[in-house]
């Protein structure tokens, strides 16, 4: 009798869950995964911001050239500092470390108050880009010549105390079609495959 009751009313291993239960379970699993991903992303951003604050920074001052030290409207050479200067940041790879370079361009105001003279900005591979030529060259060389995956380069950058992303650097440089850009990366990969012995 007990065997018959267990057979009729007991749990069966082959009994499948209902479709509604599966949908509820999948939805809760997706929500929990999204929450975990969001938490991990926030933690990573906080760690990167903390390391960026602790990272060594070098301030590089750019003075207005002597031939440009005159008012653009009146040619008066009596110029005074207008402010601390225009500040921009560039992440550069200095062997064997990364550094954040803070470039300060000198800004001078004319005595006649009709013009402002600003020192030229630092040279950049990409207009308004935040990665220097050494950084981009390091990423491209490590990724293509040394076959280092981009996620491992990201970890190396993070260990160096910078918040930059090596995986974003080549993509950000691709707009001008330069050697560090998307088209350049493809060309370098094709060249590397062509040089392999067959």
Task: Give the pLDDT score at 105.
Answer: 92
Highest mean pLDDT among 5-9, 130-134, 183-187: 130-134
- The mean pLDDT value of the chain amounts to 75
Average pLDDT over residues 94-122: 85
Whether the pLDDT of residue 172 is over 70: the answer is no
Whether the pLDDT of residue 170 is over 80: the answer is no
pLDDT band at 119 (very low <50, low <70, confident <90, very high): very high
Kindly state the DSSP code that residue 84 receives in the 8-state scheme: S
| Tokens found for residue 134 | 């050494």
């Amino acid at each position: 009798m007990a065997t018959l009751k267990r057979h009729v009313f007991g749990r069966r291993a082959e009994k499948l869950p209902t479709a509604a239960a599966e949908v509820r379970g999948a939805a809760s699993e997706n929500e929990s995964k999204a929450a975990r991903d969001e938490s991990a992303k926030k933690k990573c951003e906080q760690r990167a911001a903390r390391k960026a604050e602790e990272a060594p920074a070098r301030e590089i001052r750019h003075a207005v050239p002597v031939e440009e030290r005159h008012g653009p409207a009146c040619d008066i050479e009596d110029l005074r500092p207008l402010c601390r200067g225009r500040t921009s940041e560039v992440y550069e790879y200095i062997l064997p470390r990364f550094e954040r370079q803070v470039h300060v361009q000198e800004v001078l105001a004319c005595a006649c108050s009709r013009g402002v003279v600003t020192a030229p900005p630092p040279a950049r591979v990409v207009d308004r880009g935040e990665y220097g030529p050494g950084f981009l060259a390091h990423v491209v060389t490590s990724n293509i010549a040394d076959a280092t995956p981009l996620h491992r380069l990201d970890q190396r950058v993070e260990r160096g105390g910078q918040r930059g992303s090596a995986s974003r650097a080549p993509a950000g440089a691709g707009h001008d079609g330069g050697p560090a850009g998307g088209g350049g990366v493809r060309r370098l990969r094709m060249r590397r495959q062509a040089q392999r012995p067959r």
